Amino acid sequence: MKTERYLFDTHALIFWSSKEFVSKAFTDFFDEQVRLGYVFVSSIFFWEAAFLSKKGKIELRNIHEWKAGLLENTNIRIIDPSASEMIDSTLLPNYHKDPFDRLLIVQANCNDATLVTKDEKIKTYSVRTLWI
């Protein structure tokens, strides 16, 4: 039996970690998936989160401390984008303009992962998605 892998979009990780704006079913399901080591986050997440925090769109007082706590207290794994994935993200159809999301789409496909997102634009691409 194949193990499912999940790649969190930025909002999915923030919502899951804060337990806000998601259902109990979402939290319970991903608590278990994280415990089992089936949840991944792209290293670009931290770059995007730092930008969002700087713009005041999310509240993370100290992104370095938040990242350290997340990685020390969970079984979430980080994946780094390859140069090929970065290039491929620019070759996707222009349904979605956000370069972070475009890279996540490619990373999900290249790592055989389901992209955890509620972003409807992402769902127009050929990528497995999930939102509970």
59 has a pLDDT exceeding 90: no
Closest C-alpha to 118, from 98, 132, 100, 128 = 132
The CATH class given to the 6-130 domain equals alpha beta
Element holding 42 (H helix, E strand) = strand 39-42
Which of these ranges, 17-21, 60-64, 68-72, 107-111, has the smallest mean pLDDT? 60-64
The pTM for the full model equals: 0.92
Identify the DSSP state of 95.
T
Residues 82-127 pLDDT 10s: 999 999 999 999 998 999 999 999 999 999 999 999 999 999 999 9
Q: What percent of the chain has pLDDT over 70?
A: 98
pLDDT recorded at residue 61? 82
Give the whole-angstrom CA distance, residue 28 versus residue 122: 24
Q: Please tell me the number of Cα atoms within 13 Å of 2 on its side-chain side.
A: 6
Tokens 């938040």 correspond to 66
Give the whole-angstrom CA distance, residue 31 versus residue 67: 17
